[in-house]
Structures are given as structure tokens and as C-alpha cells.
Amino acid sequence: MSTLKITGMTCDSCAVHVKDALEKVPGVQSADVSYAKGSAKLAIEVGTSPDALTAAVAGLGYRATLADAPSVSTPGGLLDKMRDLLGRNDKTGSSGALHIAVIGSGGAAMAAALKAVEQGARVTLIERGTIGGTCVNVGCVPSKIMIRAAHIAHLRRESPFDGGIAATTPTIQRTALLAQQQARVDELRHAKYEGILEGNPAITVLHGSARFKDNRNLIVQLNDGGERVVAFDRCLIATGASPAVPPIPGLKDTPYWTSTEALVSETIPKRLAVIGSSVVALELAQAFARLGAKVTILARSTLFFREDPA
């Protein structure tokens, strides 16, 4: 039984991915990976390559050290070998490996980039905005933080135990709540996206907007000025989607929000009209109502029309 020390995992799902990758390495009979302990216990055959084990983990964006392996298999040695393959001065230099350009940096883009690297490719990932896409920045993560804060405000105002616990009217400091929300978003973005990208020498990140020059080249207008041509063997467009704005007369002249603006609003409006009855519409409607807004929901059909099979 050998032990592999792993750094960079941020949740139990990370451990599942590491386990899957390790058990694909020739000579590995089984892998017991623990996120909490930051380690993997391996049942391996004699002669199993230590570099193959650490490379399998590095391909997912994490760092690994075999506790009982010789010094040549340390993370530094592995990274040096990978940089030699990719070019020490330019990670996207010629190496003979398949080069994949990924436009976007959300969940789909990250999953594809890491899987491509795991399979031996090198990746150039292009993002014009904030690394991480919708979910971590302006979607699932901040919305759930806001919902949780609103739920706590609701319980202070009203709970099943009002008979024994005096209810109070909470004072909502939206600016402070927003700062806490953004701090957690920043923390998770670094752990789940930025830190993994920075630690993977097979992935180059370009900050800018991409357009196709031809079927084998992109032109990237860099955010800090200048252009760069990126040649690729394959290109994945993973730019996500934008909220659909309904064609309501007069709406374009109204200072409306999409879910993005709602999540980062520094104030709680006195009155809020929510157009739609999907999960996103209703979770934000409930949160704003619990934080003090008078909310009206405008729905063409029943609530959760697409989600509720009834």
C-alpha cells in the first residue's frame, strides 16, 4: 500500500475525480482518496511508475507527492518535465501534443480543459470577463448565499417557536451582506477555478475576446491591449448563455434587472416586479421579499411550469 499526498482538492467531488484518474493508471489496483485527509491510499503492482501516478493527479489540476517515492517524482520534477514538453518560456509552444482552444471559463469550459489535459493535450483557455463563468460569479453560488441570508432574516421575523422565542424585526444592511457574499464568491472562484488553472502548466489562460481568423486560428483581442493569434487543432466554444429579455413594450426604457444585476444590487427596492416563474425567478423573488421588498410575480402560467411535472 502506497500513500499519495494531494493538495488542491476543495470538495468530496474532487476526490472522486482523482480516484477515477488514478485507477486508470496501469498497475493501480485500487485507490482510496480522501478530500479531508488530502491523501490517496493506493494498492499498486510492483514497478508502477510514480511519475504516472503524479501525472494523473496533475492532469486534473492538483499537486501530488508519493510519500514513499524517490525524489525524482516530486511535484517540482514533474512540473519541470511537463514544461520541457511544452516549452519553458511559452507553455503553448510546439510540443506535438494536440492543442485545444477553449473559449469561455465556466463549468463546461473547465471540465473540458482538465479532461483534455488529462488525456495529454495542451489547452489555451480564453476568457474576456471574470474567470469562472456564471455559476460561481453571478449564478448558483451568490444566489444561494443571498437565499440563506434572506432565510435567516425570515426566521428572526417569524418562526415556529414564536410562542417561546420573541420575534424581532431584523435590520437589513444590504451593503454588508453583499460584501460577505462577494468575499465567499471570490474565495470559491480562486479555489475552484483560478488556483487550478494557475497550477496547471498545460493550460494557458488568455484574458480577452476571441474571433475566428480561419478554421485553424483564433485572433484574441487582449484586454490589456494588443492581439494574439492562437493556432489550434480543435476549438470548443463554451461561452454560456445570457438572460432572455422579453419583448414587452416600454421595457427597454425601464431600468430593469436581469438575475445578474439583482444579485449584486446594493439596495433592496421597496417594490419589485419579477417577470417569470422559473426556479431563478422564484428564488430571487422570495429572497427579496424576505429582505423587505414588496414583490409581485408576473407569470404566464403556473409557478415552476417547466420544473413541476404536475
Alpha-carbon gap, residue 7 to 38, rounded angstroms: 6
Which residue range is the domain that position 34 belongs to? 2-66
Same domain, 231 and 108: yes
Shared domain for 54 and 121, answered yes or no, is no
Q: Domain for residue 269, yes or no?
A: no
Confidence of residue 95 (pLDDT cuts 50, 70, 90): low
How much is the pLDDT for 155? 94
Q: What is the pLDDT of residue 309?
A: 64
Question: pLDDT (tens digit, 9 = 90+) per residue, 223-257?
Answer: 999 999 999 999 999 999 888 888 999 998 998 99
The domain that contains 56 carries what CATH number? Answer: 3.30.70.100
Which of 29-33, 76-80, 200-204 is predicted least confidently? 76-80
Share of the chain above pLDDT 90, in %: 65
Beta strands in 128-216 (DSSP E): 203-214
Q: Do both 219 and 117 map to the same domain?
A: yes
What residues pair up with 275 in beta bridges, in sequence order? Answer: 298
Same domain (yes/no): 220, 140: yes
Task: Report the candidate in 214, 196, 232, 220 with the shortest Cα–Cα distance to residue 100.
Answer: 232
Show the cell assigned to 59: 492532469
Residue 34 and residue 147 in one domain: no
Q: How many domains does the chain have?
A: 2
Mean pLDDT, the chain, as a whole number?
A: 88
Q: Are residues 230 and 119 in the same domain?
A: yes
Give pLDDT, residue 88: 35
Taking alpha carbons only, the member of 235, 236, 215, 219 closest to residue 227 is 219
Is residue 104, in this structure, part of any structural domain at all? yes
